[in-house]
Amino acid sequence: MGQWTFLTNHAHVLIYVARDPGARVREIADAVGITERTAQGILTDLVDAGYLRRTKEGRRNRYDCVEDLPLRHPLEADHRIGELLRTLRP
């Protein structure tokens, strides 16, 4: 079986951050299986698009999910990020 998954790295990062808003970039990258640079780029994408809010806590960043925004693809646009996160939370 191939190494593909149903969700993108952006979704994986968002799900990880929803579970641990204070996670370090290294922890996120390791969990998702990507480089720290890629994880940082995805976090920036999600912040710029409004799906995450970044706040400083001392020297660290905290990311909070904005759950009322729609999913981006037209096939899922009638669903909100919060629905996805609630479905996939442990």
User: Would 4 be classed as within a structural domain?
Assistant: no
Q: Other C-beta atoms within 10 Å of 27: how many?
A: 14
71 class by beta-carbon count within 10 Å (0-12 exposed, 13-18 middle, 19+ buried): middle
59 class by beta-carbon count within 10 Å (0-12 exposed, 13-18 middle, 19+ buried): exposed
pLDDT score recorded for residue 34 = 97
User: Rounded distance, CA 52 to CA 45, Å?
Assistant: 9
E-only strand ranges, 1-90: 52-57, 60-65
Between residues 38 and 89, the one the model is more confident about: 38
- pLDDT band per the 50, 70, 90 thresholds, residue 90: confident
- Domain coverage including residue 21: 9-88
- Chain segment 19-72, per-residue pLDDT in tens: 999 999 999 999 999 999 999 999 999 999 999 999 999 999 999 999 999 999
pLDDT score recorded for residue 87 = 94
User: Would 2 be classed as within a structural domain?
Assistant: no
Residue 61 belongs to domain with CATH number = 1.10.10.10
Total domain count for the chain?
A: 1
User: Would 3 be classed as within a structural domain?
Assistant: no
